[in-house]
């Protein structure tokens, strides 16, 4: 069969440094092809060239057997290549239809936008994909999952044959992700080719037909997903044989360090009770919007007190500001690393010190030497790969950025860690290190509450799972009874 896309020997350097030295890729129609690789493997460079955002240094790109050169993104679009980006960029105050046809609105008499036709076309498109979304709704009223689906509809409205999905599930819960996978399956039936980029291996094994692995800017291997094991794939991505994926070394004790009784939040979380023991990792599991993150925000003084008792180490506490929570020994790794985890304008050192400024500045004056040694200590402890601590944190890879966030919190010497999607958007190698850190923290006398949408992660790391549904606790599962089916049964 004629491949939809065939790329050979693609190279690209930036200022003499090769970002991609041998990009190879073949996409067949009616298939989902996973593009795998760690941070810095060259995936993004490869994709930006295929999308016409950057120019290749050498190599060939063929679309349906025809050599092509894309000088700009619109050339790629014209050739039938469309992308659903990781970071969506909707116009919030416009309707779904307006967003889909942005910049190419159907016009009627005297250049007036023909809204009726636009809404009709958009609705037809959405219906054909079985997306249950009205074309007249405003983008700002949609959930993240719905935004993704609109983005897919938009890609298809260009009559795209090749659709690139870059981490499409990174902001989705499991149910929404299933909706997305159903859409992907439908695209496949229609003979489209999908390039699927994701760090989540379970997704790759769930929906992809073929895979290609890049590492250090080079093509490593490709083949059918059915012919490769999970371990083998990880090995190719990371470049070395691996030990246990979930490095779990902690054992819970009987000592209760933290209890919640009847907690409500400003959102719709009602009557949540929970116990946490020293040395324990408890997962809060549930679909997006089940209220998991709201609990963390309330515990960290970011949400208002709507009733409920919090007891820390036997003492009733109120936790009405983040500072109070930090002083009580809590640390909160938020779900949105760029939005609320890091100051991207600042250096690695400043970010590591951000939650510990009081101790680093007796009488209000910063002690530079203490800052330097604090940063050095955390860079060492977490294996943060950075040339020095003065460079902007925005220059680090996702995994290393996440380790900076962890470093920031470990510097406060927390007793209880709240982790909200701690491994989102980080590569397999960094994930393992984060699991190791979590485990060692618990083993060393800490306690962890983790929110995660990744079932594998929950099954791998948690000693106990508290499942949330519609803002309430719907059940609790002990480690020995855990299974994906059991969790999903309680969550949905």
Partner 1 sequence: MNTKAASSQGYKALAADFGQKYGILMALVLVCVILSFLSEFFLTQRNITNVLRQASVNGILAIGMTFVILTRGIDLSVGSVAALAGVVAASLATTSTTAGVDGAPHAVAIALGAGILAGIAAGWVNGVLVAYFNVPAFVTTLGMLSAARGLTLLYSGGRPVPSLTPEFRFIGTGDILGIPMPIILFGLVFLLAYLVLSATRFGRHVYAAGGNPHAARVSGINVKRVRMLVYIISGGLAGLAGMVLAARTGSALPQAGVAFELDAIAAVVIGGTSLSGGVGRVSGTLLGALLISVVNNGLDLMGVQSFYQQIVKGMLIVGAVMLDQARHKHA
In the complex, the residues that contact partner 1 under the rule CB under 8 A are: 13, 15-18, 300, 302, 321-323, 325-326, 332, 334, 339-346, 350, 353-355, 357-358, 360-361, 364-366, 368, 408
| DSSP state for residue 192 in the 8-state scheme | -
Q: Looking at beta carbons only, is 16 or 111 nearer to partner 1?
A: 16
3-state secondary structure of 142: coil
CB of 328 to partner 1, least distance (A): 11
CB of 176 to partner 1, least distance (A): 24
With tokens 């950075």, the residue in question is 386
User: From CA 89, how far away is CA 154, in angstroms rounded?
Assistant: 12
User: From CA 149, how far away is CA 131, in angstroms rounded?
Assistant: 7
Non-local (6+) Cβ contacts of 273 within 8 A are 259, 260, 261, 262, 263, 473
CB of 215 to partner 1, least distance (A): 15
User: From CA 436, how far away is CA 130, in angstroms rounded?
Assistant: 42
Judged on CB neighbours under 10 Å (0-12, 13-18, 19+), 263 is buried
Q: Looking at beta carbons only, is 193 or 341 nearer to partner 1?
A: 341
Contact 263, 308 (CB under 8 A): yes
Q: Which two tokens stand for residue 118?
A: 């636009």
Backbone angles phi, psi at 360, to 5 degrees: -90, 0
3-state secondary structure of 367: coil
Kindly report the number of other CB atoms within 10 A of residue 319's CB atom: 20
CB of 324 to partner 1, least distance (A): 8
CB of 184 to partner 1, least distance (A): 33
| DSSP state for residue 217 in the 8-state scheme | T
Q: Looking at beta carbons only, is 214 or 332 nearer to partner 1?
A: 332
Could you tell me the end-to-end alpha-carbon distance of the chain, in angstroms, rounded to an integer? 41
| Secondary structure in 3-state letters for 370-386 | HHHHHHHHHHHHHCCCC
Q: How far is CA 102 from CA 91, 138, 149, 154, in A?
A: 9, 14, 16, 9
Beta strands 309-312 and 31-36: pairing type?
unpaired
User: From CA 479, how far away is CA 471, in angstroms rounded?
Assistant: 23
Q: Looking at beta carbons only, is 11 or 210 nearer to partner 1?
A: 11
Q: Looking at beta carbons only, is 321 or 373 nearer to partner 1?
A: 321
CB of 362 to partner 1, least distance (A): 9
Q: Looking at beta carbons only, is 65 or 364 nearer to partner 1?
A: 364
CB of 338 to partner 1, least distance (A): 8
CB of 395 to partner 1, least distance (A): 9
CB of 481 to partner 1, least distance (A): 34
Q: Looking at beta carbons only, is 311 or 361 nearer to partner 1?
A: 361
Contact 127, 116 (CB under 8 A): no
Q: Looking at beta carbons only, is 77 or 396 nearer to partner 1?
A: 396
CB of 391 to partner 1, least distance (A): 10
Cα 33 off chain centre by:
20
CB of 422 to partner 1, least distance (A): 15
CB of 456 to partner 1, least distance (A): 27
Q: Looking at beta carbons only, is 192 or 337 nearer to partner 1?
A: 337
Q: Looking at beta carbons only, is 126 or 374 nearer to partner 1?
A: 374
CA dihedral 9, 43, 222, 84 (to 10 degrees): -120
3-state secondary structure of 356: helix
For residue 153, the surrounding DSSP H or E stretch is: helix 144-157
Q: Looking at beta carbons only, is 84 or 354 nearer to partner 1?
A: 354
Which region, left, alpha or beta, applies to residue 239 given φ > 0 means left and ψ of -120 to 50 means alpha?
left
Q: Looking at beta carbons only, is 168 or 341 nearer to partner 1?
A: 341
Contact 304, 263 (CB under 8 A): no
């Amino acid at each position: 069969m004629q491949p939809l896309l065939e790329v050979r020997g693609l190279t690209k350097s930036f200022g003499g440094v090769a970002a991609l030295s041998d990009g190879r890729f073949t996409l067949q129609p009616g298939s989902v092809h996973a593009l795998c690789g760690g941070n810095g493997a060259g995936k993004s460079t490869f994709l930006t060239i295929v999308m016409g955002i950057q120019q290749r240094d050498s190599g060939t790109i063929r679309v349906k057997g025809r050599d092509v050169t894309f000088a700009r993104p619109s050339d790629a679009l014209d050739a039938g290549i469309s992308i659903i980006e990781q970071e969506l960029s909707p116009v919030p105050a416009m309707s779904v239809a307006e967003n889909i046809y942005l910049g190419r609105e159907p016009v009627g008499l005297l250049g007036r936008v023909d809204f009726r036709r636009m809404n009709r076309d958009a609705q037809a498109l959405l219906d054909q994909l079985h997306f249950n979304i009205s074309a007249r709704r405003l983008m700002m009223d949609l959930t993240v999952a719905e935004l993704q689906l609109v983005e897919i509809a938009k890609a298809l409205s260009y009559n795209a044959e090749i659709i690139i999905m870059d981490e499409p599930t990174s902001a989705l819960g499991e149910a929404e992700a299933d909706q997305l996978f159903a859409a992907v399956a439908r695209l496949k039936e229609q003979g489209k080719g999908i390039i699927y980029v994701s760090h989540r291996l379970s997704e790759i094994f769930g929906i992809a037909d073929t895979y290609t692995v890049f590492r250090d800017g080079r093509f490593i291997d490709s083949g059918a997903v059915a012919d490769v094991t999970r371990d083998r794939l990880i090995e190719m991505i990371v470049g070395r044989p691996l030990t246990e994926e979930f490095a779990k070394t902690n054992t819970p004790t009987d000592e209760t360090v933290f209890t919640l009784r009847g907690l409500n939040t400003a959102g719709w979380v009602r009557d949540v009770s929970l116990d946490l023991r020293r040395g324990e990792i408890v997962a809060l599991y549930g679909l997006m919007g089940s209220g998991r993150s709201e609990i963390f925000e309330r515990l960290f003084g970011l949400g208002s007190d709507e009733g409920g008792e919090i007891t820390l180490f036997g003492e009733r506490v109120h936790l009405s500001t983040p500072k109070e929570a930090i002083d009580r020994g809590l640390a909160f790794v938020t779900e949105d690393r760029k939005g609320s985890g890091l100051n991207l304008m600042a250096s690695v050192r400043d970010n590591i010190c951000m939650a510990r400024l009081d101790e680093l500045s007796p009488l209000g004056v910063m002690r530079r030497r203490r800052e330097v040694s604090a940063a050095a200590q955390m860079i060492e402890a977490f294996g943060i790969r950075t040339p020095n601590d003065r460079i902007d944190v925005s220059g680090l890879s996702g995994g290393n950025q996440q380790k900076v966030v962890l470093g920031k919190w470990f510097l406060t010497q927390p007793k209880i860690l709240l982790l909200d999607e701690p491994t989102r958007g980080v590569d397999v190698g960094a994930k393992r290190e984060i699991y190791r850190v979590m485990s060692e923290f618990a083993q060393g006398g800490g306690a962890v509450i983790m929110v995660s949408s990744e079932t594998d992660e929950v099954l791998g790391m948690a000693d106990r799972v508290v499942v949330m549904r519609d803002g309430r606790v719907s059940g609790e599962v002990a480690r020995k009874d855990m299974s994906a089916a059991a969790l999903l049964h309680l969550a949905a």
